[in-house]
Every structure is written in C-alpha cells, then in structure tokens.
Amino acid sequence: MMRKLLDGLYLASGYLAGLFLIAIFVLMMALSIGREIGVNIKSGDDITAWCMAAMAFLGLAHTFKSGEMIRVGLLTERLRGRAKWGAEVFALSMAAVFVGFFAWEVVKMMYTSWLINDTSTGVLVVPLWIPQTGFAAGLVILFVAVLDELVHVLRGNMPRYEKEPPKTAEELIERAVASAV
C-alpha cells in the first residue's frame, strides 16, 4: 500500500514536471509569435522562468527513482558485498542530509514569502510563494524519495535506481537510445 502510494507520488511529480515543460513550450511559442504580430504577453518571461524552476525540481524524484539521474559510480561500481552496501548507505545518507537541509530552507523561504506577502516586481504582480511552491514541493518529494531508497538499502536490498549492467552490445545500445544519450 505505502509502496504504491510513494511510487504514485514520484510518477505524479514526473507528470507534473512534464506539464510544466509543455507550459514552457506554449509560453515560448506565444512570446515568439506575439513579438512578430505586436502582441505583448505581460510577464511572459517571468512565468516561463517560474515554470522552468517548477519543471526542474518536480522532475527530480522521478528521475532519481528511475535510475536516470547522473551519479558518479566510479567507486561503488568497483565494490562488492558489504563494502558496496556501506558505500550506498553512506551516499544515500549524505544525499538525505543535503537534500533535507535544502528542502527545509526552501520551505522556510516559501513560508516567509507567504507571511510577509512578498510579491514579484514585474508587470504582473504575483505572490512569490505561488511560484516557489513547485520548487519547494519538488525538493520535499526528492527528500522523501532519497529517504525511501535509504530505508530500502538499509533493509539489505540493492538500490532500485541501480540497473543491472547490460549483457549484450544490443542491450547497451537500446538503453542508450532509451535514455536519449
């Protein structure tokens, strides 16, 4: 039940990031066409930037859990057994500390913006806590994903983000194509 809920959260976060990507595309096209025909979209650049931040941060947890996040495995790939498990636990623990701290500070910033009614300075006045929500939510969901993976590894399991090495050259090429490398 909890596994299904967490996986659904990560997937929903990924889909939401995708929707923000579509919004960026639509806004950029509207801004480009609008310039050509003399139509100005008020604060279009600001809205696009807010969508970009939301897209980037909301996509982090899904990317992490899918094993598509860039990570340096030079050390962990060479380790085996208990040493590999220890290195994974250490890396995930450090990730939890840093992401947790970052998420905490961003949520505090968003809350402060809400408390003091901080607004944008552009043509379109928007309370800043609204665009900061995507940033904060993405980091909180990533923190949950890192903790989820840490607990999974602490129970003696292999990390879910780590894929088995390809067994054939065709499988290696197929993976590279699938991940858009």
How high is the mean pLDDT in each 10-residue block of the chain (181 residues)?
A: 91 95 95 89 88 95 82 73 88 95 97 94 88 95 96 89 76 71 50
In this predicted structure, what is the pLDDT of residue 180?
57
b/e per residue 67-95 (b: at least 16 CB within 10 A): eeeeeeeeebeeeeeeebbebbeebbeeb
Rounded distance, CA 56 to CA 138, Å?
8
Nearest to 138 by CA among 178, 176, 110, 170: 110
In this predicted structure, what is the pLDDT of residue 17?
96
In this predicted structure, what is the pLDDT of residue 153?
92
The torsion of the CA quartet 92, 176, 23, 56, rounded to 10 degrees, works out to 20
pTM, to two decimals: 0.85
DSSP 87-124: HHHHHHHHHHHHHHHHHHHHHHHHHHHHHTT-B--SSS
Q: How far lies 139's CA from each of 34, 48, 53, 133, in Å?
A: 34, 20, 11, 10
Q: Tokens 């380790």 label which residue? A: 79
Tokens (6 digits) for 37: 């025909």
